[in-house]
Amino acid sequence: MLRLSGVEAAYGSSNVLFGMELEVGAGEVATLLGRNGMGKTTTIRTIMGLVKARAGSIQFEGRELVGLAVHRVAQCGLGLVPEGRQIFPNLTVRENLIATAANRFGTANPWTYERVVGLFPRLAERATNMGNQLSGGEQQMLAIGRALMTNPKLLILDEATEGLAPIIREEIWACLSGLKALGQAILVIDKNIDALTRIADRHHIIEKGRLVWSGNSTGLVADPQLLSRYLGV
């Protein structure tokens, strides 16, 4: 579904990605793991066209994304939940969700406002509240709901549960597990290795802008040296 091959990217004259490789299959949950500053967010931003790839290929369902404008990348079916959430602070919860509503691919059971607030009942309770009146956990639910309203083929989450209370984290993981059961492809960055190994089919570890390991959950948890060396676990 999504395949990165030999991707290089930089901020100004500072190279950040060096021949990055990554793959997400249809219906898979895949992770991008690594310590802070290793290039995880830059990889996501490069996929979405927010950072220009200097070399390599980013293909989504056989279509080359390198060189496309950001909105064109999104229209291919990629939905992003960015680090920091970036909801619209001066719109209500309902307005935030309706603002991104689209069903470009004619999905048979599309995500609608009613379906999203069914997934996150807290959002129904806060429907008339402004985005900046929500807690961090509620904002993350809203950011996920907003991405789902685009009916993406691939949902991408950068720091899915960072900074959230434990009870909210569990709600987010339960949501992602439910989405996986529905066949939603997901690419996720997070530091909760236990949760990620429960739901993910494929893991990628990045170190200084390079892919250094990929494999399944069994292989990841069976190698404590790998966890210690690259993830500090």
- pLDDT (tens digit, 9 = 90+) per residue, 110-160? 999 999 999 999 999 999 999 999 999 999 999 999 999 999 999 999 999
Question: Which residues, listed in sequence order, are joined to residue 187 by a DSSP beta bridge?
Answer: 30, 156
Task: Verify that 116 and 226 share a domain, yes or no.
Answer: no
| Alpha carbons 121 and 105: distance in angstroms, whole number | 26
- Quote the tokens at residue 224: 């404590």
172 pLDDT higher than 70: yes
Q: Same structural domain for residues 60 and 110?
A: no
Tell me the β-bridge partners of 156: 80, 187
Domain span including residue 88:
83-152
pLDDT digits (tens, 9 = 90+) for 52-101: 999 999 999 999 999 999 999 999 999 999 988 889 999 999 999 999 89
Report the relative pairing of strands 53-60 and 2-11 from DSSP bridges.
Answer: antiparallel
Q: Same domain, yes or no, for 43 and 158?
A: yes
Q: By the 8 A CB rule, do 96 and 146 touch?
A: yes
Q: Is the pLDDT of residue 103 over 90?
A: no
Same domain as 207, residue 159: yes
What integer is the mean pLDDT of 35-58? 97
Per-residue pLDDT, 174: 95
At residue 233, the pLDDT reads 58
As a whole-number percent, the residues of the chain with pLDDT over 90 amount to 92
Q: How much is the pLDDT for 105?
A: 85
Q: Domain for residue 170, yes or no?
A: no
The average pLDDT across 193-208 equals 97
Matching residue, tokens 């949501």: 175
Task: Give the H or E element holding residue 101.
Answer: none
Is 169 part of a structural domain of the chain?
Answer: no
Spell out the alpha helix ranges (H) of 48-152.
70-75, 93-99, 113-119, 121-125, 136-148
Categorize the per-residue pLDDT at 16 as very low, low, confident or very high, splitting at 50, 70 and 90: very high
User: Quick one: pLDDT at residue 55?
Assistant: 97
pLDDT at 102 over 90: no
**Around Cβ 72, how many Cβ atoms within 10 Å?**
12
Q: Is residue 171 part of a domain?
A: no
Q: Is the pLDDT of residue 106 over 90?
A: no
CATH number at residue 1: 3.40.50.300
Strand 29-33 versus strand 185-189 pairing type: parallel
Q: Does any domain span residue 178?
A: no
Compute the distance between CA of residue 34 and CA of residue 232 in angstroms, rounded to an integer. 9
Q: Are 158 and 46 part of one and the same domain? A: yes
- Numbers of helices and strands, H then E, in the chain: 10, 10
